[in-house]
Structure 1
Amino acid sequence: MSSSNPQHKLHVMFFPFMAYGHMIPTLDMAKLLSSRGAKSTIITTPLNSRILQKPIDVFKNLNPNLDIDIEIFDFPCVELGLPEGCENVDFFTSNTNVDSNYMAFKFFMSTSFFKDQLEVLLKKTRPDCLIADMFFPWATEAAEKSHVPRLVFHGTGYFSLCAGYCIKMHKPQNKVASSCEPFVIPELPGDIVITQEQIIDGDNESEMGKFMIDVRESELKSSGVVVNSFYELEPDHADFYKRFVAKRAWHIGPLSVINRGFEEKAERGKKASIDEAECLKWLDSKEQDSVIYISFGSVACFKNKQLREIALGLEASGTNFIWVVRENTDDKEEWLQEGVEERLKERGMIIRGWAPQVLILEHQATGGFVTHCGWNSLLEGVAAGLPMVTWPIGAEQFYNEKLVTQVLRTGVNVGATKHVKAMEDDIISREKVEKAVREVLVGVEAEERRKRAKKLAEMAKAAVEEGGSSFNDLNNFIKEFSS
């Protein structure tokens, strides 16, 4: 590490949004920086600190000399108008007795309570920089008061950031006759086709729309952006982003690849709802590339009608599978009443809750991944060299789907056409599920997709090794903020 003061140890402070999809890559980032000689401090709340402490302890046991710690901020939920214990998005996305849209907005707004605590901590500790989540727009101003550079972490890749920027600048969705009419995103490299129903709602007049304007403005005033991606995955969009969107950005991913050991991979996120060894033993009994893995991330929670269609589609496909079903507080599992699970138990495994996803994706028996196209899952699939069935649900997931299907050409779409406002909307039929699963696993085109996916996996691993594109960008980052 180069520094104007050879005794100086770079201190990076991290402040992730309180959701698994944001906390997991932030933890990986903190581990990565500390493994390169920096001191890493993660700011979070009391309940979330318990989620982070176990993997940090595992990491410290493997690397006793490395410096990584947690700083806990007060978050009085009830005083802020939230239910007791509502310190993580998981609280209201897995609880069907609350209005999750209302609760989400209330939760976003409540995080500004951290601003004063952050100002006090930065003034006291004077870290070299603060990497704060995009959803904390007030962090830029808080950091400025202590002359600490604030960097933004989005938790997504260059492609979706560029797509969002081009749509915001040119508003092509206003020039089509209907919400389902396809159009090309202006100026975005690659002639990417999308519909109005698939873009992130740009309603600037809504409360959430106004909040997102604050997010964008605070990013423009920040010291730059840290991206969980690697150059070879999206080179045209990395160049476009650095030229037109944010003049300063560093790509340091894929972050999931830094988890080398079995326990690190197994403990990524929550404790798995299944014994990891039992799961791997089951996979060991299957042929190479014969198993499809189905998971929709930590937020999406399908209702019985859709779960039934997935189950019957998997049955009709004749394929081996591991399927992760989110636990639902009011789910009576009516979708299993026709004896589906009993009929499928020889060639299928249903995991209720949390799965050891990285271990499953990396297993040689796993041949494809049905994913909601959340960026963490997508990158884990890329790093494992897997072709994908894309099933976006919301957020920037349709942009990520276009990257997989139109740019990388390593996936097939299941037929999702628009953002799902309620999980009863737009049911994907069993026929579509069966067709997509077969298409991604079998045939000449499937083999071509698999070859492309394997090549990307090699590039992903090379990017983080010494001399790789992400390794070098991280070096540049360390040099800049150490001096």
Structure 2
Amino acid sequence: MTRLLLPDYAKTDGDGETGLTRVLQEIKESELASYGMIVNSFYELEQVYADYYDKQLLQVQGRRAWYIGPLSLCNQDKGKRGKQASVDQGGILKWLDSKKANSVVYVCFGSIANFSETQLREIARGLEDSGQQFIWVVRRSDKDDKGWLPEGFETRTTSEGRGVIIWGWAPQVLILDHQTVGAFVTHCGWNSTLEAVSAGVPMLTWPVSAEQFYNEKFVTDILQIGVPVGVKKWNRIVGDNITSNALQKALHRIMIGEEAEPMRNRAHKLAQMATTALQHNGSSYCHFTHLIQHLRSIASLQN
């Protein structure tokens, strides 16, 4: 339930304590000293976990938890999330509008994960060999250095209208919410996972580090709206190696395999639940209302 994307503190001080150890201790202390926890999720998505977590907080620590998400659905301007987009939103929407429903794969691994040039080349080959249309977000500081791309890849995919590469930051919520996006290749960070759930998009899971492997199990085994690409190794920043053939097979499975339609149906139902949770008298609406009332009662006691 508490999903923390922790920074990479690897240095050790003179007492043998790492920065990560200190961060974890500070988090634990701040949680114990707080009135409770605000969670970017909604009750229906994680009901069993929410009930257990609430029970532990109330009975053991005397605190509360409020589930007020998905926060991404609260933003009226879907193009604004995080940094300024590195691409013209109108151009991306025009390209998506020209495609059929559920025919585009969106590929993005968040703002922290990195891949070697060899792995990026395998991703490019897997995308091209799959025959699927795609939008691929590549986080590279030097977008002019494209020597790792297979020869002619960008020209072929662009000229044929099969693919778009976004170099830098993408308007992710806007893209995921488009009806032509049929799958999301993701590192399983919680923000990205919840945004995909809210948009009703199945996920091809490629976790890298932190809590992402837990999120993958939640998506693939519990919610059953995802397909694992096959990553086994936890890495702090650099992703595990996956072959182009493995990516191609996973894309086929999630886009046009026999599981694709049932997964898509389950994803759409979860998206409807997410929307309902934020509406008047929905679970997140009620949790947020109760949170405000709780804070007001605390403030009145202190005055």
Establish whether TM, by shorter chain, passes 0.5: yes
RCO higher in structure (CA 8 A, sep ≥6): 2
The answer as to whether partners of 2:9 and 2:19 remain within 8 angstroms in 1 is: no
Identity of aligned residues (%): 51
Q: Does 1:373 align with 2:185?
A: no
User: Structure 1 residues 337 and 313, CA, compared in 2 at 3 Å: closer, same or farther?
Assistant: closer
State how far apart, in whole Å, the 2-side matches of 1:269 and 1:422 are. 20
CA offset digits 1:253-286 (Å, max 9, x no partner): 00000112xxx21122111111101000000111
Q: Which residue of 2 aligns with 1:299?
A: 112
Higher mean C-alpha deviation, range 322-331 or range 413-422 = 322-331
Picking from 62, 65, 69, the partner of 1:253 is: 69
The answer as to whether partners of 2:137 and 2:170 remain within 8 angstroms in 1 is: yes
Q: Which residue of 2 aligns with 1:243?
A: 55
1:332 to partner: Cα distance: 2.6
The answer as to whether partners of 2:207 and 2:216 remain within 8 angstroms in 1 is: yes
The answer as to whether partners of 2:107 and 2:184 remain within 8 angstroms in 1 is: yes
What SS does the aligned partner of 2:259 have?
Answer: helix
State how far apart, in whole Å, the 2-side matches of 1:289 and 1:433 are. 18
The answer as to whether partners of 1:228 and 1:253 remain within 8 angstroms in 2 is: yes
Q: Which residue of 1 aligns with 2:235?
A: 420
Letter in 2 for 1:325: V
Q: Does 1:322 align with 2:135?
A: yes
What SS does the aligned partner of 2:148 have?
Answer: helix
The answer as to whether partners of 1:231 and 1:469 remain within 8 angstroms in 2 is: yes
Q: Does 1:282 align with 2:95?
A: yes
Q: Does 1:217 align with 2:29?
A: yes
| TM-score normalised by length of structure 2 | 0.88
State how far apart, in whole Å, the 1-side matches of 2:9 and 2:66 are. 33
CA offset digits 1:428-453 (Å, max 9, x no partner): 11011111111111132111111100
The answer as to whether partners of 2:126 and 2:247 remain within 8 angstroms in 1 is: yes
What SS does the aligned partner of 1:382 have?
Answer: helix
The answer as to whether partners of 2:112 and 2:237 remain within 8 angstroms in 1 is: no
User: Structure 1 residues 299 and 467, CA, compared in 2 at 3 Å: closer, same or farther?
Assistant: same
1:303 to partner: Cα distance: 2.0
User: Structure 1 residues 214 and 243, CA, compared in 2 at 3 Å: closer, same or farther?
Assistant: same
Picking from 201, 206, 209, the partner of 1:394 is: 209
The answer as to whether partners of 1:320 and 1:348 remain within 8 angstroms in 2 is: yes
1:337 to partner: Cα distance: 4.9
Picking from 253, 257, 273, the partner of 1:439 is: 253
Letter in 1 for 2:133: N
Q: What is the RMSD computed on CA atoms of the aligned residues?
A: 2.2
Q: Does 1:429 align with 2:239?
A: no
Q: Which residue of 2 aligns with 1:469?
A: 283
User: Structure 1 residues 331 and 401, CA, compared in 2 at 3 Å: closer, same or farther?
Assistant: farther
Letter in 2 for 1:249: A
State how far apart, in whole Å, the 1-side matches of 2:216 and 2:48 are. 17
1:330 to partner: Cα distance: 9.1
User: Structure 1 residues 343 and 230, CA, compared in 2 at 3 Å: closer, same or farther?
Assistant: same
State how far apart, in whole Å, the 2-side matches of 1:343 and 1:324 are. 17
State how far apart, in whole Å, the 2-side matches of 1:422 and 1:213 are. 22
State how far apart, in whole Å, the 2-side matches of 1:330 and 1:419 are. 27
State how far apart, in whole Å, the 2-side matches of 1:329 and 1:341 are. 16
Q: Which residue of 2 aligns with 1:336?
A: 149
Shift >6 Å, 4+ stretches? none
**Structure 2: segments with no counterpart, 5+ residues:** 298-303
State how far apart, in whole Å, the 1-side matches of 2:143 and 2:106 are. 25
1:426 to partner: Cα distance: 3.3
The answer as to whether partners of 1:230 and 1:460 remain within 8 angstroms in 2 is: yes
What SS does the aligned partner of 2:185 have?
Answer: strand
| TM-score normalised by length of structure 1 | 0.56
State how far apart, in whole Å, the 1-side matches of 2:197 and 2:99 are. 22
For these two proteins, the number of residue pairs brought into alignment is 285
1:421 to partner: Cα distance: 3.8
**Structure 1: segments with no counterpart, 5+ residues:** 1-20, 23-88, 90-99, 107-203
State how far apart, in whole Å, the 2-side matches of 1:422 and 1:372 are. 11
User: Structure 1 residues 224 and 421, CA, compared in 2 at 3 Å: closer, same or farther?
Assistant: closer
1:420 to partner: Cα distance: 1.7
State how far apart, in whole Å, the 2-side matches of 1:353 and 1:214 are. 33
Letter in 2 for 1:453: A
User: Structure 1 residues 409 and 217, CA, compared in 2 at 3 Å: closer, same or farther?
Assistant: same
1:363 to partner: Cα distance: 0.7
Q: Which residue of 2 aligns with 1:265?
A: 78
CA offset digits 1:221-254 (Å, max 9, x no partner): 2111000000010100011111125641001000
Q: Does 1:310 align with 2:123?
A: yes
State how far apart, in whole Å, the 2-side matches of 1:274 and 1:342 are. 18
State how far apart, in whole Å, the 2-side matches of 1:479 and 1:445 are. 45
1:336 to partner: Cα distance: 1.6
State how far apart, in whole Å, the 1-side matches of 2:144 and 2:214 are. 30
1:339 to partner: Cα distance: 1.4
Picking from 225, 242, 266, the partner of 1:452 is: 266
